[in-house]
Structure 1
Amino acid sequence: MNNPEPTGPGRVLHRQMTAHYPELPGKVAVVTGAARGMGAQFAAGLATRGVHVVAGDLDSAAMSATADELGAALAAESVADKPGRIAAYALDVTRAEDHEVLARRAIDEFGRIDFWINNAGIFPFAEVPDITPEQIRATLSVNVEGVLFGAQAAAAHMQPGSAIVNMASVSAVRVRKGRAAYCSSKAAVAHLTESLAVELGDRGIRVNAIAPGYIDTEMTRWIQDDAPALETALAAVPLHRIGSPEEVFGALLFLLSDSARYVTGHSLAVDGGSRHV
């Protein structure tokens, strides 16, 4: 799973995380939106550390292909712990019943659910006058309702000590032109995370969020390929570079681990400090 380290101004450092959490092998995680991007990174990284992963995505063919690819890579790698298995399923996060089906499959496949990562999301662009009713409904349905439905399904099957992690964004606290629908949805995710933490705390379930900034994914590739856009973006990042998926995964590992067992209701920014600029 190691990636090369690109060179050049603002380029991301792809180095595999060395943190090791011995309590993770044998645990079971559900990851939504896992066919590509950060979701696939999460699934691969967790399985490398011995966590069994139930991976769901709207694109069932891509999800199956990704699971097969990751499974083959894990079998070929030398890892400290016996790698976990990755089971792929179709999932429409806008349907509450799909989350419940995914939870049941996790129980049937692995006997438990320890972690649930609500990663699926969309990133629409439209200036305020051009946002259509269909766009705002779709954005809130995927980005917010998808998180709520996932948390509901997870909580129904989790035991005390389990953890839910949602994907928020630095956009929850920083406005970006043309992203009003997206920014408002991520602000809702951040606040929903706090509400879930309060209500599920009685069950011993922790709920946190990760708030990435500019990360080296398909979503930001256009910025990296446009020198003026990259310069503008990096001017708003105190560390003056784009982050790597591995660095977001490092935050996820911490939030799932026993090291964060007294952390709940928190949005952990992985943004190079851009939320302060």
Structure 2
Amino acid sequence: MTESSSNPTRANAAPLTASYPELVGKVVVVTGAARGMGAVFVEELARRGVHAVGGDIDGDGMAALADKINSGAAEGAGRVLARRTDVTDPDDHDALLAAGLEEFGRVDHWVNNAGVFPQAGFTDIPPDQVTATYQVNVNGVVYGGQTAARHLRRHGGGAIVNMASVAGVRVRVTRAAYNSSKAAVRHLTSCMAVELGPDDIRVNAIAPGFVDTEMTRWVREDPAALDRALSTVPLRRVGAPVEVFGALQFLLSDSARYITGAVLPVDGGSQHV
């Protein structure tokens, strides 16, 4: 029995051993990378010899994370370049690309990870919440995807990965703005995959479920809420960010070279309950 199965409140954060040597030396842009899953993404990529360009609205937090990763890097590790990025501004995506090209001479893949997770009963959702949620969660994916696609089509293709959510197919009460924005990301991923496929650009999405991040901490601290949440997860435990990274690493790799338009759930089976 694993530690996580004996204690379902604890995610299985054991290191992943999958290796994709073709990714070594590649450059991946990750938005929303200062904390949460985005921070895990850039750290795990760097650990595997992949360079990461991390963008986040919290420029100081992004810079601090990059310094921490780079200062403690082992020989052969990739480096992390930090930039303040507002994903609701198309020009900031272009600047993120330019920074990666200037620093590393190439950009191979793009991860649209930035997102917000607002809460309000449906009739109480204020207009600014709707606007902000769609600007970050949907428009940010469009603008990042456009910048990535324009570059990748000129350089032989590559992979774009969008962050969707199990909430895009299952209702979470008081999360209507978030749920609907992630449903939009799922369909947007399909649209992008169809249009960009002829340019050898693969576009896929990851749909995390109940994962151990700041956004879900309140659930884990409330025994009743935790019991309700785990009752909808067939694996009966919390997911770990590194397990979401495992899906990302696969989708960026050559092992997924004939996969596009897919939405890969990393949810312990919860979308089926």
TM over 0.5: yes
Match of 1:153 among 147, 150, 159: 147
Match of 2:96 among 71, 89, 102: 102
Indicate the residue corresponding to 1:61 in structure 2.
60
Deviations 1:216-260 (A, max 9, x none): 011111111111111000000000001001110000000000000
Segments of 5+ residues of structure 1 without an aligned counterpart are none
Indicate the residue corresponding to 1:188 in structure 2.
184
Shift of 1:155: 1.0
Stretches of 4+ aligned residues off by more than 6 angstroms: 4-7
Which structure 2 residues correspond to residues 38-57 of structure 1 after superposition, within 5 A? 38-57=37-56
Indicate the residue corresponding to 1:212 in structure 2.
208
Deviations 1:144-186 (A, max 9, x none): 0000000101111113341000000000000010000000000
Shift of 1:132: 1.0
1:132–1:91 distance in 2 versus 1, CA, 3 Å: same
Deviations 1:34-72 (A, max 9, x none): 001100000001111111111100010111001111112
Indicate the residue corresponding to 1:274 in structure 2.
270
TM-score (norm 2): 0.96
Shift of 1:73: 2.7
Matched to 2:262, the amino acid is H
Distance 2:123 2:45 in 1: 42
**Secondary structure of the corresponding residue to residue 184 of structure 1:** helix
Matched to 2:215, the amino acid is M
Distance 1:9 1:125 in 2: 25
Distance 1:45 1:213 in 2: 20
Shift of 1:5: 6.9
Match of 1:111 among 102, 105, 109: 105
Indicate the residue corresponding to 1:234 in structure 2.
230
TM-score (norm 1): 0.95
Structure 1 vs Structure 2 CA RMSD: 1.4
Distance 1:12 1:61 in 2: 28
Distance 1:171 1:9 in 2: 21
Matched to 2:113, the amino acid is N
Contact 2:5 2:236 in 1 (8 A): no
Which structure 2 residues correspond to residues 13-24 of structure 1 after superposition, within 5 A? 13-24=12-23
Distance 1:83 1:61 in 2: 23
Which structure 2 residues correspond to residues 25-174 of structure 1 after superposition, within 5 A? 25-75=24-74, 82-158=76-152, 159-174=155-170
Distance 1:15 1:9 in 2: 14
1:235–1:145 distance in 2 versus 1, CA, 3 Å: same
1:85–1:6 distance in 2 versus 1, CA, 3 Å: farther
Shift of 1:8: 2.5
Distance 2:11 2:52 in 1: 27
Distance 1:142 1:37 in 2: 16
Shift of 1:9: 3.2
Distance 2:204 2:8 in 1: 32
Contact 1:169 1:211 in 2 (8 A): yes
Matched to 2:268, the amino acid is G
Shift of 1:112: 1.3
Contact 2:33 2:56 in 1 (8 A): yes
Shift of 1:7: 6.4
**Secondary structure of the corresponding residue to residue 22 of structure 2:** coil
Segments of 5+ residues of structure 2 without an aligned counterpart are none
Matched to 1:263, the amino acid is I
Identity over aligned pairs, percent: 59
Distance 1:40 1:6 in 2: 25
Shift of 1:6: 10
